[in-house]
């Protein structure tokens, strides 16, 4: 399906406002925004997916409880960077306080607030800066405040991440947009990073959750930077219904269109997250095709994209295709390795490096030229079916170690 790409990020959909300010959660001489708010004009149907890490940030726990209390309804988001509010004895107390402060400023109930945090784990979250910031955020809310909010959720990110599309359902023009953050501690397993998506398309809570869970599987869950799964991973999808289309309450053509739009937003955000991996110089996209089923295609593509040895080879522009085969070989799926083909590609061209599970002659110079580009594709054909999946990642560089060697300081 074709979708019109539009501006506006998390404010692209009708009825959504956002803001961001610097409150000083962590002293920063550049005074970059470190707390954001997103608010809908009306109550929203809301769906979410969260980290599967046994250690869960307090905001994850509180947000899940809030949505259970409200029956899948929410009106606002409050999110801070610099401090994850995780592994703290007073974590839930602080997360609940963030909801209470937001609710008071907006005249809503605390359980109608989504709360999220990202940053350093195990450091107590100072609440005083947030107490001062929430009224400022409420006052600054704007239908064009998406950039202020998107920059406020950045940690080691080097660029903000936003994407939005326009589409039609039931004769009504609908919009969907989102913002994401993430650069490190990213591993493909349930809602990697922080992601907030808004839409004015009317969708029931059950169908919203179904769409989100299905599209997460083939986007964010197919993303890996370093193999470490965050404790705070959260992906929220809010629908205010202001496009006034007939509410989507069951599967069908309208639901398929909605899912396709959601895929466009989430896949593009996933790609941005991968390209901005900590210390990364190259975006890696692995396409596994001709697999016996979707799950096998996903498992194989993810296995390759998260291989440290392969990621290092890509940093060095080394066509060490054996590392691709090695990663395919330990993928926990059932297929015949002796039927596997591998090609490497980029805007500089495409080259075959493996056929039927064995190497083929190729020009090292040509391969080097292809792999020197900043966006690399790895094409894997299992030749054992019709299913296909894509996974995204980045190379592993010296700078990744440098960034994480002094992350707290």
Dihedral pair phi/psi, residue 403, rounded to 5°: -60, -45
Dihedral pair phi/psi, residue 213, rounded to 5°: -60, -40
Q: Assess contact for 380 and 300: CB atoms under 8 A.
A: yes
How many Å apart are CA 70 and CA 208, to the nearest integer? 15
Q: Assess contact for 202 and 243: CB atoms under 8 A.
A: yes
Q: Which two tokens stand for residue 2?
A: 């074709």
Q: Which of 219, 172, 217, 180 is nearest to 197 (CA)?
A: 180
Beta strands in 240-374 (DSSP E): 283-291, 341-346, 349-355, 358-359
Residue 365: partners with Cβ closer than 8 Å, 6 or more residues away = none
- Long-range (24+ apart) CB contacts under 8 A made by 331-338 are 331/299, 331/300, 331/302, 331/303, 332/299, 333/295, 333/296, 333/299, 333/300, 334/292, 334/296, 335/291, 335/292, 335/296, 335/300, 335/382, 335/384, 336/382, 336/384
Dihedral pair phi/psi, residue 383, rounded to 5°: 55, 40
Give the CB-side neighbour count of residue 255, counting CA atoms within 13 A: 16
Q: Which two tokens stand for residue 81?
A: 């960077």
- Give the 3-state secondary structure of residue 349: strand
* Catalytic residue status for 390: no
Per the DSSP assignment, residues forming a β-bridge with 382 are none
Instruction: Classify the phi-psi angles of 385: left when phi > 0, otherwise alpha if psi is within -120 to 50, otherwise beta.
Output: left
For 267-295, the DSSP string reads HHHHHHHHHT-TT---EEEEEEEEESSHH
How many Å apart are CA 171 and CA 366, to the nearest integer? 51
Per the DSSP assignment, residues forming a β-bridge with 78 are 37, 115
How many Å apart are CA 76 and CA 9, to the nearest integer? 16
Q: Which of 51, 192, 296, 397 is catalytic?
A: 192
Q: Which secondary structure element, helix H or strand E, spans residue 178, and what is its range? A: strand 172-181
**Catalytic (active-site) positions:** 192
């Amino acid at each position: 399906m074709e979708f019109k790409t539009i501006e506006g990020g998390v404010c692209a959909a009708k009825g959504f406002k956002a803001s961001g300010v610097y409150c000083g959660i962590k002293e920063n001489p550049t005074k970059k925004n470190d707390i954001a708010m997103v608010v809908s004009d009306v109550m929203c149907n809301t769906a979410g997916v969260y980290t599967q890490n046994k250690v869960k940030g307090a905001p994850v726990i509180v947000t899940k409880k809030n949505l259970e209390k409200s029956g899948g309804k929410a009106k606002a988001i409050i999110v801070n960077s610099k401090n994850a509010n995780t592994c703290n004895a007073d974590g839930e107390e602080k997360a609940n306080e963030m909801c209470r402060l937001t609710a008071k400023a907006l005249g809503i109930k605390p359980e109608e607030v989504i709360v999220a945090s990202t940053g350093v784990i195990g450091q107590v979250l100072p609440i005083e800066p947030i107490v001062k910031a929430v009224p400022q955020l409420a006052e600054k809310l704007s239908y064009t405040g998406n950039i202020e909010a998107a920059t406020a959720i950045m940690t080691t990110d080097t660029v903000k991440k936003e994407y939005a599309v326009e589409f039609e359902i039931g004769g009504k023009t609908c919009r969907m947009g989102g913002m994401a953050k993430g650069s490190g501690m990213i591993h493909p397993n349930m809602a990697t990073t922080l992601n907030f998506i808004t839409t004015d398309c009317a969708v029931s809570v059950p169908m919203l959750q179904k769409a989100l869970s299905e599209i997460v599987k083939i986007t964010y869950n197919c993303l890996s930077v370093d193999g470490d799964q965050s404790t705070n991973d959260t992906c929220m999808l809010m629908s205010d219904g202001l496009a006034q289309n007939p509410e989507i309450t069951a599967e069908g053509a309208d639901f398929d269109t909605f899912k396709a739009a959601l895929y466009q937003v989430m896949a593009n955000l996933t790609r941005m997250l991968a390209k901005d991996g900590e210390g990364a110089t190259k975006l890696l996209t692995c396409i596994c095709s001709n697999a016996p089923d979707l799950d096998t295609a996903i498992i194989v593509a993810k296995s390759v994209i998260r291989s440290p040895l392969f990621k290092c080879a890509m940093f060095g522009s080394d066509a060490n295709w054996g590392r691709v085969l090695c990663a395919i070989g330990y993928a926990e799926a059932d297929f015949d390795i002796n039927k596997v083909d591998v090609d490497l590609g980029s805007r500089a061209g495409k080259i075959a490096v493996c056929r039927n599970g064995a190497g083929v002659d190729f020009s090292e110079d040509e391969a080097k030229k292809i792999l020197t580009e900043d966006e690399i594709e790895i094409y894997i054909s299992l030749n054992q079916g019709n299913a296909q999946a894509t996974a995204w990642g980045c190379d592993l560089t010296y700078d990744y170690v440098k960034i994480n060697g002094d992350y707290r300081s």
